[in-house]
Structure 1
Amino acid sequence: MSDHTNVEIPAGFEGRDLLTLLDFTTEEIQTLLTFAEQLKQNPHQNMLPGQSLGMIFENASTRTRVSFEVGMTQLGGHSLFLSPRDLQIGRGEPVKDTANVLSRFVDAIMIRTNSHEMVEELATYAGVPVINALTDLYHPCQALADLLTVKEKKGKLEGLKAAFVGDGNNVAHSLMIACAKTGMDAALAVPEGYEPDPDVWKEIEKVAEENGTRLELTHSPADAVKEADMIYTDVWASMGFEEEQAKREEAFAGFQVSEELCANAKDDYMFLHCLPAHRGEEVEASIIDGPHSYVYDQAENRLHAQKAVLAAVMKK
């Protein structure tokens, strides 16, 4: 396909929020992935002419900020980077007021913050779509990019097995939801004391049951990656937990994605990591820099997956 092919925005997403993939059906997720594939083939689409995205960042970011900014530009729109230093919200303005005021200036709000409750409150009061670009509980944009990467390389999602080894964190939550929604079996291996949020896990179990996908929570990395098509990990001390680094290094001993561990997976397994990565900690350099690694394709796919979300929810 050439860059001049006009891609059609799928219907049914206009004005909606993306707070977690739990709010989207299997069919809707598949539709967004197909749309993302089309946008990847035809990147410059004037779908959001004159529209503005307000981007609230309470945390540092490389991939999220660049991909959303470039994405809006490629879609013919404009983005505004807003740090807590730029916003009155950083000085205690109620979320309700910020939501109401921003909604009168911009066509959508993207937010990256620690508190998922804050994002829910923002969405409650905003008159425009709100996109969760990472909270303490969920990272749905990352999960869409993960699915897109696996689909590209494997040609399908249903019937594959994904294994996440590490902390039962926001990335793990969203990946498990994404797998359960799209027919991928999923195993999560965590050290004791680092299990996923129990309420979120209950929701994931419900989705897996509805879709007939196998879901496993274990303390054994080897069990999790057995016959896996895809192995995923994240840093041991995510943002906000840096002071626990030494304690976590001890707790996560034995949870490194190593050559030895990956020998339990399928011969053609994929390795994914949301980045930034610490070679020699959660993953051996030979794995993340080796032939099974697709981490840079995965990072690039943040752009295409997010563009699909932006165009779909901001469609007028």
Structure 2
Amino acid sequence: MNSLYKRNCLRLLDFQTYEVKHIINVARILKSAKKNKREIKYLKNKKIVLIFEKESTRTRCAFEVAAFDQGANVTYLGPGSTHLGYKESIRDTARVLSRMYNGIQYRGHSHHAIETLAQYSEVPVWNGLTERFHPTQILADLLTIQETLPLRKCLSDIKFAYVGDVRNNIGYTLLEAAALFGFDLRLVSPSQFWPKLTFFLKCREQAQKNNGNIICTENIEDGVKNVDFIYSDVWISMGEPETKWKTHINLLKKYQVNSKMLNLTKNSNTKVLHCLPAFHDKDTIMGKKIIKNNNLKFGIEITNQVFESNSKIIFEQSENRLHTIKALMITSLTQNFFL
């Protein structure tokens, strides 16, 4: 029996380590099949609804292309196109949609909203992003890391630094990944941006049981020493009031991922990850404004030079959203799916 059948994916800790490994392995096989034009359609005539309270490029495209590749039909409900939470409760919306669709993707603000959606839905619910967790992104990151590791090295062996604002959905989901796989995770950031203590301690305890460790540190040199990967994300989110921008940036300025930081790793093979979009140049309205108003050089959270020198792995991360989301949908919608 497929243990993932009809399962929700609201956060990584919804799963056991072996189940996450299975999703990643399925994604790897599906990726190879697509590239070699040997893909089997496991989701023919399935119907998927995508609820987007927050807009996205990668998440929407990955879910839509994954569904189309697999023969499924998709309905996209963008911001303002439903009565969700305004004229109709989340509970009632779940009960309506789960009678029409085989799976529901939700990308929005409140994690409580997706928990309610899942509670009242009769079909699997997948988290495309909430303010708390972003499991579909980290699944893609784990696949990317696995593809990059030397032959005899596995996920539990890596040393990993996440640099910047740790309190966001990427930081919190990386904590859960470290808890499951037991790798060495360093959260490198000003203490104002450290995760909630109870959640941090819970994840660290589980990571240590799996022979790993998690630390928070303000010291960049200690945090990035000998790491295999440095991960960065934007410091400013869309919709965040501009009054907060300057305070955030002043606190985070010295945590920019640049050549100086890479030199501090003492590891010439350190690779840089970024979930995108990235403010690495002045080619966006928002990026140009932030760089100009805050006297930043060569980028914001990451310099253009470091971004471009790691662009191959960064855009592999982006593509891998497609393959891991496809694996997630297939394993949760196909009762007798085995590879």
**Residue 25 in structure 1 maps to residue 16 in structure 2:** yes
**Residue 91 in structure 1 maps to residue 86 in structure 2:** yes
Distance in structure 2 (CA, Å) of the matches to 1:206 and 1:309: 27
Aligned match for 2:48, one of 40, 46, 53: 53
The offset of 1:293, in angstroms, is: 5.5
Distance in structure 1 (CA, Å) of the matches to 2:134 and 2:241: 19
Show structure 2 runs of 5+ residues with no match. Answer: 281-298
The offset of 1:209, in angstroms, is: 2.2
Any idea what SS the aligned residue of 2:254 has?
coil
Alignment of 1:1-316 (within 5 A): 11-43=2-34, 44-89=39-84, 91-155=86-150, 156-168=154-166, 169-243=168-242, 244-265=244-265, 266-279=267-280, 280-291=299-310, 294-316=313-335
Structure 1-normalised TM-score? 0.93
Partner residue, 1:4: none
Distance in structure 1 (CA, Å) of the matches to 2:333 and 2:84: 24
- For residues 199 and 110 of structure 1, do their structure 2 counterparts lie closer, same or farther at Cα, with a shift above 3 Å needed? farther
- For residues 231 and 78 of structure 1, do their structure 2 counterparts lie closer, same or farther at Cα, with a shift above 3 Å needed? same
- For residues 51 and 256 of structure 1, do their structure 2 counterparts lie closer, same or farther at Cα, with a shift above 3 Å needed? same
CA contact (8 A) 1:84 1:90 kept: no
User: Over aligned residues, Cα RMSD in angstroms?
Assistant: 1.5
Show CA shifts across 1:183-214 (max 9, x none): 32110012131111334323312321221201
Any idea what SS the aligned residue of 1:88 has?
coil
The offset of 1:314, in angstroms, is: 1.1
Show structure 1 runs of 5+ residues with no match. Answer: 1-9
CA contact (8 A) 1:56 1:109 kept: yes
Partner residue, 1:5: none
Distance in structure 2 (CA, Å) of the matches to 1:194 and 1:70: 35
Distance in structure 2 (CA, Å) of the matches to 1:64 and 1:71: 11
Distance in structure 1 (CA, Å) of the matches to 2:311 and 2:62: 24
Distance in structure 2 (CA, Å) of the matches to 1:196 and 1:189: 11
Distance in structure 2 (CA, Å) of the matches to 1:221 and 1:302: 29
Any idea what SS the aligned residue of 1:158 has?
helix
Distance in structure 2 (CA, Å) of the matches to 1:17 and 1:303: 18
Question: What is the identity, as a one-letter code, of the residue corresponding to 1:27?
Answer: Y
Identity %: 36
Question: What is the identity, as a one-letter code, of the residue corresponding to 1:254?
Answer: K
Any idea what SS the aligned residue of 2:176 has?
helix
Any idea what SS the aligned residue of 2:192 has?
coil
The offset of 1:179, in angstroms, is: 2.7
- For residues 237 and 102 of structure 1, do their structure 2 counterparts lie closer, same or farther at Cα, with a shift above 3 Å needed? same
For these two proteins, the number of residue pairs brought into alignment is: 307
